Structure 1
Amino acid sequence: MKIHLTSVFVDDQENALRFYTDVLGFAKKHDVPLGADRWLTVVSADEPDGTELLLEPDGHPAVKPYKTALVEDGIPAASFAVDDVQAEFDRLRGAGVRFTQEPLAMGPVTTAVLDDTCGNLIQIMQSE
């Protein structure tokens, strides 16, 4: 068994697509209109057949309080692996990304946490 699809709730799919592709570097995989929303997924540019991330609309009434609580408590909605957290931090901060946690070594991992501009905190992590 393996993870095929996971999701992150976003407040604006178009903004999310721009951020996750143009800023973070993911590639668009599926973009299927579904009424007012879309089935919109991105994948790692390095693994186009890998795990898909659904940029899921946050319209359900339970989602916004959930997202707000996570952000207020500093809890990331997702975690993405990178080869070098410091290099990604420098690149993304140079692109105007706001971080809520600068790179922090914690035993065998180094993490940083960013604001995805869509209502979520996202962790980037490097395993050593």
Structure 2
Amino acid sequence: MPGGVDPISELQRLTVSLRGGFEQKNGCLVFHFTGQLDAYSEKQFMDYVGDVLKASKLASVFDLSKIDFLDSSGLGALVQIAKLCKDAKRTFAVVGNSRVTQTVKLVRLEEFLHLANDLPTALSQIAA
């Protein structure tokens, strides 16, 4: 990333297979994750996101474009996060890559999770 820090290098290790971090961008919390969101990392993912969401009222984008693997436990965690956001009347979106998008669409959760193809699209959806 020219002139800046690669956000992935700044991610903290949540588990052996999942790293995560967040930044504030355009008045939103943007979470970035890389690795695997699965049965082994779901609890740490939920604890981390839950703690950050409790400390802020901002709209949130969950950037999963660098997630290599998403299983049913990871999907369950995303549904729980979506419910937390809805209960708090917090606008949110999920950004997926082809693997994440395919998994989410397979269980028909793309509308519930406000699935977007990329970060700029997600940010514009939230701003609208």
TM over 0.5: no
Structure 1 or 2, whichever has the larger Rg, is 1
Query: How high is the TM-score relative to the length of structure 1?
Result: 0.29
Give the structure with the larger strand fraction: 1
Query: How high is the TM-score relative to the length of structure 2?
Result: 0.29
Give the structure with the larger helix fraction: 2
